[in-house]
């Protein structure tokens, strides 16, 4: 499929974004990540109880990798596998955090937004590096942040989740807003800079990958 067609798909899906989080207290939050073998994508979802940051449930989905890594089009590589792993979860999850961007994307259609539309659930993107836009480095204390701006629009934040650690880039996916994205990511972050559900999803996905090797 040509990139022009993929862009057209993104522009069409963009119209479906719901930019507001309508939930109340978050009880269950899940992290989603994907690891790769030579041929396959292995998506992992780790569900945690927010009040205790304890694992409630995990799920995996393996499928053949059919799309290369192209910046700006990560969703076409990972979203389907993540959506299928989410479909196996029995817990009613309030928010999903994905290793990628939400609306902090040239067409506002990062992985978290695309996957959030597929599963019609609240999602947040939490990435280690900037994909697009401009920002200023935030302060060094946990909770310090600066805005990420694309085309004069605030699309996310550069957030310090741990004192002295490199910041992460957080943006709403679907059924989500910036204020709640900040709040939820900080509540999920303790000893590491990555939100705990996402950190564990990364570990478990790679552990499953090694078992497949």
pLDDT values of the chain reduced to their tens digit, one per residue, 213 residues: 799 999 999 999 999 999 999 998 999 999 999 999 999 999 999 999 999 999 999 999 999 999 999 999 999 999 999 999 999 999 999 999 999 999 999 999 999 999 999 999 999 999 999 999 999 999 999 999 999 999 999 999 999 999 999 999 999 999 999 999 999 999 999 999 999 999 999 999 999 999 986
The neighbouring-strand residues paired with 74 are: none
3-state secondary structure of 207: helix
Short-list 128, 109, 122, 119, CA closest to 198? 128
DSSP sequence for 102-169: SS-STTS--HHHHHHHHHTS-EEEEESS--SSB-----SSTT-EEEEEETTEEEEEEE--STTSPPEE
Helix, strand, coil percentages (3-state) for the chain, rounded to 5, are 30, 25, 45
Does residue 176 contact residue 116 with C-beta atoms inside 8 Å? Answer: yes
CA distance 58 to 115: 18
Regarding pTM above 0.85, the answer is yes
Homologous superfamily of the 16-212 domain (CATH): archaeoglobus fulgidus dsm 4304 superfamily (3.30.2170.10)
**Six-digit token string for 173:** 């996916």
How far is residue 67's CA from residue 62's CA, in Å, rounded to a whole number?
A: 14
């Amino acid at each position: 499929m040509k990139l022009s067609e993929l862009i057209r798909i993104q522009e069409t899906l963009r119209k479906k974004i719901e930019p507001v989080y309508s939930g109340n207290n978050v009880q269950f939050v899940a992290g989603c990540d994907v690891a790769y073998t030579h041929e396959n994508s292995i998506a992992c979802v780790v569900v945690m109880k927010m009040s205790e940051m304890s694992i409630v449930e995990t799920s995996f989905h393996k499928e053949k990798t059919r799309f290369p890594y192209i910046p700006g089009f990560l969703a076409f590589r990972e979203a389907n596998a993540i959506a299928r792993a989410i479909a196996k979860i029995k817990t009613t999850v309030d928010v999903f955090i994905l290793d990628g961007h939400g609306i902090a994307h040239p067409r506002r259609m990062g992985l978290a937004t695309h996957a959030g539309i597929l599963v019609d659930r609240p999602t947040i993107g939490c990435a280690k590096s900037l994909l697009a836009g401009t920002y200023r480095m935030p302060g060094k204390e946990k909770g310090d942040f600066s805005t990420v701006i694309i085309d004069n629009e605030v699309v996310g934040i550069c957030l310090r989740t741990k004192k002295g650690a490199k910041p992460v880039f957080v943006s709403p996916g679907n059924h989500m807003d910036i204020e709640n994205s900040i709040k939820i990511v900080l509540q999920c972050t303790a000893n590491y800079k990555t939100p705990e559900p996402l950190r564990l999803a990364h570990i478990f996905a790679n552990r499953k990958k090694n078992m497949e090797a």
